[in-house]
Amino acid sequence: MKGFLYGVALQWKLDIRSKSLLVTCYIIPLIFFLLMGGIFTSVMPEMGSTLIQSMIVMSVSMGAFIGLPPSLIETYGSDIKKGYKANGVPIYLGLVTMFLSAFVHLMITCIVIVLLAPILFEATLPTQLPFFFLALAIYIIVSLSIGSVLGLTVKNQAKLTMIAQLVFLPSIMLSGIMFPIDLLPDFLEAIGRIFPASWGYRLMLDNGFCFENLWYLIFIFFAAVIVCGIVLKKQKAK
Amino acid sequence: MIMETIIEVSHLKKYFKDVKAVDDISFQVEKGELFGFLGVNGAGKTTALECIEGLRKYDSGTITVNGKMGIQLQSSSLPAHIKPMEAVRLFSKWNKAKIGFTMLNALGIKEIEKKQYIQLSTGQKRRLHLALALIGNPDIIFLDEPTAGLDVEGRVSLHEQIRKLKSQGKTIVLASHDMAEVENLCDRIAILNNGNIAFCGTATELTDKIGEKYFIHIKTQQGNSTFETDNIEDTLISLLNDLKQKEIHILDIKVDRGTLEQHFIEMARRETK
């Protein structure tokens, strides 16, 4: 247990030292929030009621799909994995510590958004904060589980950049955070529903925490856990 | 003196599709021995070692290892931004081992503790990986090409560390393609060639088998020439006399015991005779 806890704390420190995670988990999401928060609320003042949820979906998608997978490739696509294995460290440690560390980083970014949005843009705070934070935690976990699948299954950084964009862009364009989802053509709305962002967004809205918005996220999470388990088992067997 | 076998490998086979990486090898390593695995790149050293270390599945054969293992891989890495002492603490906590500061000081880990892994030189990385392999106070230490990419100073320093470990009673299995290194350090040598053990014994037994073969390299204004001989003195004197008579000016002259490849060629030539 000591080793595991030290591993998580160490990973958190390593993430801070790594500029790429700092950029994808903090700098870009917060710059996006500051710019788009101002634009959204001045062009469409009614967006103030969903600004926090929208900015959180963007930030989490950025951190989970663009930030986490390269760190996983660095470990699982290189000799680091062999080094861990040779020194008696279980193969899952890298994944679990990176996952937990990214969870903490994204939660911090989201809390900053929740705190600043009402002050800077007169955004409305969620009325049921405990449910909101529960929904937020679930959404971050599900997004990170997809990021984990990307990081474990894609073998090189160049391919990953392309594939991560295929998940990231529809997540923010078709989830309803930029504009109402009912303005989209039916087929784009259907495509948007494949990605967890639209489900997570609805789950975080006031009165949105219900099984109807939750089941798909649970399904995606367990599917991702199974895929990660299979990939790690294969890597161990090699 | 009764020797205690600490590693026993019997009829080990590991194939990659049609490639016979390790083809039916058997050998034993005794406790406290420094055992060398010698072979050119692709001979099967790393694959055989990884099978013994339990890092790679093998097709058939049996491997018995009676002791705690410490492993320094040929190609290993750590996260780019980790600091040496953080890696040491991580691995010691996982292995529930106490950190041996004497060992860390001897390997110079203290001097590099503020640097991140990405900032370390090849030699410093090798030392750190050796320190990580030694964390759990292992009985058997596997070193796969530990001096590859090191400068002369780094090699000498690492050789000293290896000798020190042997003097502490550790069993060491060293894989290398450097014949001089293996000859200098190891009690016994196994030469791997195309996945087979071409020879297993002491350096003296190897010399007896291949004979006292020397190579004389002479550089003159007319070019470079290499001569094989079993008798340095006679050959050298006759070569020098010959060159003097022909008034050929010698620019450089070197005598060595031949490279691993040259000995392989010699062994193969004798076996086909």
In chain A, domain spans: 2-237
> Would the CB atoms of A237 and B133 count as touching at under 8 Å?
no
- Per-position pLDDT tens, chain B of length 273: 567 889 999 999 999 887 888 888 999 999 999 999 887 777 888 899 989 988 888 999 999 999 888 898 888 888 889 999 999 998 888 888 888 787 888 788 888 888 999 999 888 888 888 888 888 888 999 998 888 777 787 788 888 888 988 998 899 999 888 777 888 889 998 888 888 888 888 877 877 776 667 888 889 888 888 888 888 888 889 999 998 898 888 889 988 876 655 665 566 555 544
H-helix segments, chain A: 2-17, 19-22, 28-43, 51-61, 68-76, 80-86, 93-121, 129-153, 157-173, 186-194, 196-204, 211-237
Any CB–CB contact under 8 A between A8 and chain B? no
Q: Torsions phi, psi of B117, nearest 5?
A: -55, -40
Any CB–CB contact under 8 A between A1 and chain B? no
Shortest alpha-carbon distance between residue B80 and chain A (Å):
8
pLDDT tens-digit readout, B131-161: 888 888 889 999 988 887 777 877 888 888 8
> Would the CB atoms of A87 and B53 count as touching at under 8 Å?
no
H-helix segments, chain B: 45-53, 84-94, 101-106, 122-134, 152-167, 179-185, 203-210, 232-245, 260-272
Is residue B121 exposed (0-12), middle (13-18) or buried (19+ Cβ within 10 Å)? middle
| Set of chain B residues whose Cβ sits within 8 Å of the Cβ of A88 | 91, 94-95, 136
Smallest CA–CA distance from B52 into chain A, residue: A86
Chosen for mutation from B47, B51, B94, B125 (greatest number of chain A CBs closer than 10 Å) is: B94
Helix axis angle, B203-210 to B260-272, nearest 10°: 50
Helix axis angle, A211-237 to A196-204, nearest 10°: 140
Any CB–CB contact under 8 A between B146 and chain A? no
Cα-Cα-Cα-Cα dihedral of A164, A168, A171, A172, to 10°? -170
pLDDT tens-digit readout, A77-133: 888 888 888 887 888 888 999 999 999 999 999 999 999 999 998 888 999 899 999
Sheet-wide strand order for B140-144:
B69-72, B140-144, B171-176, B34-38, B188-193, B196-201
> Would the CB atoms of A3 and B94 count as touching at under 8 Å?
yes
pLDDT tens-digit readout, B88-125: 998 888 888 888 787 888 788 888 888 999 999 888 88
Is residue A180 exposed (0-12), middle (13-18) or buried (19+ Cβ within 10 Å)? exposed
> Would the CB atoms of A78 and B77 count as touching at under 8 Å?
yes
Those residues whose C-beta lies under 8 Å from the C-beta of residue A225, and which sit 6 or more positions away, are: A145
Shortest alpha-carbon distance between residue A107 and chain B (Å):
23
Question: What whole-number distance in Å separates Cα of residue A234 and Cα of residue B76?
Answer: 20
Q: Which residues pair with B193 in a beta bridge?
A: B196
Question: What whole-number distance in Å separates Cα of residue A121 and Cα of residue A137?
Answer: 24
Tell me the pairing of strands B19-30 and B60-65.
unpaired
Place of tokens 């990081």: A151
Instruction: Note whether B217 and B238 are within 8 A (CB).
Output: no
For the record, the structure tokens of B170 come out as 């550790």
Question: What residues 108-127 of chain B have any CB closer than 8 A to a CB of chain A?
Answer: 116
Instruction: Note whether A26 and A100 are within 8 A (CB).
Output: no
| Set of chain B residues whose Cβ sits within 8 Å of the Cβ of A18 | 80-81
* Predicted complex ipTM: 0.80
Any CB–CB contact under 8 A between B33 and chain A? no
For the record, the structure tokens of A165 come out as 């964009």
Smallest CA–CA distance from A86 into chain B, residue: B71
| Set of chain A residues whose Cβ sits within 8 Å of the Cβ of B96 | 3
Shortest alpha-carbon distance between residue B16 and chain A (Å):
12
Domain boundaries, chain B: 75-138, 209-272
Calculate the CA A230 to chain-centre distance: 22
